[in-house]
Amino acid sequence: MLKGRVWKFGDDVDTDVIIPAKYLRSVDQTIWPKHVLEGLDPSFSSRVKPGDIIVAGKNFGCGSSREQAALAIKWAGVAAVVAESFARIFFRNAINNGLPLVECRGVSKAVEEGEVIEVDLDRSEVRTKKETLRSVPLPPFLQEIVNSGGLVEYYKAKKKVH
């Protein structure tokens, strides 16, 4: 169970605002979390605390396939992203890197900026100060990748060849 303070964002948060391309070509990967979500809130990276939770509208992570978008959010200490829906490549990248994503209809209206919510991955619930919302459980196949700790670990455990 995750419990954390909420940062709210709107619909269609794209990977260019999560991490602009100008920071991607860097040998030093530690710069990515320092610029996370800079396109929407330049002060976010300095104010976000480990364990905080991002709550957003529909189509979170749309745009480019840059995996640095998921990594920047994770390395900034964000415990989970809860959104109305996710763009598919970002969704895969987050699963592959062990960043918990929770698809939850109605969450953007039910939650206020700064409130503390509980995200219960086992029970597929998001608990706000007002109500408990059902979230969409991960399909068992993806849960297996998450349980392995990401796709790299999943590969090491299985070493399947096609």
Tokens of 99: 């960043």
Query: Per CB under 8 A, does 160 bind other proteins?
Result: yes
CA distance 124 to 109: 18
Stretch that binds other proteins, among 43-51, 66-74, 104-112, 126-134 (CB under 8 A): 66-74
DSSP string, 40-88: T-TTHHHH--TT-EEEE-SSBTBS---THHHHHHHHTT--EEEES-B-H
Stretch that binds other proteins, among 2-10, 43-51, 54-62, 110-118 (CB under 8 A): 54-62
Number of residues that bind other proteins (CB under 8 A): 44
Q: Which is nearer to other proteins, 109 or 160 (CB)?
A: 160
Residue that has been written with the tokens 């990977």 in this structure? 15
- Return the residue of 59, 72, 79, 82 that touches other proteins, per CB under 8 A: 59
H/E element, 120: strand 116-120
Query: Per CB under 8 A, does 26 bind other proteins?
Result: yes
CA distance 94 to 68: 10
Contact set with other proteins (CB under 8 A): 12, 14, 16-17, 20-22, 24-28, 39-40, 58-59, 62-68, 70, 85, 87-89, 92-93, 96-97, 139, 141-142, 150-152, 155-156, 159-162
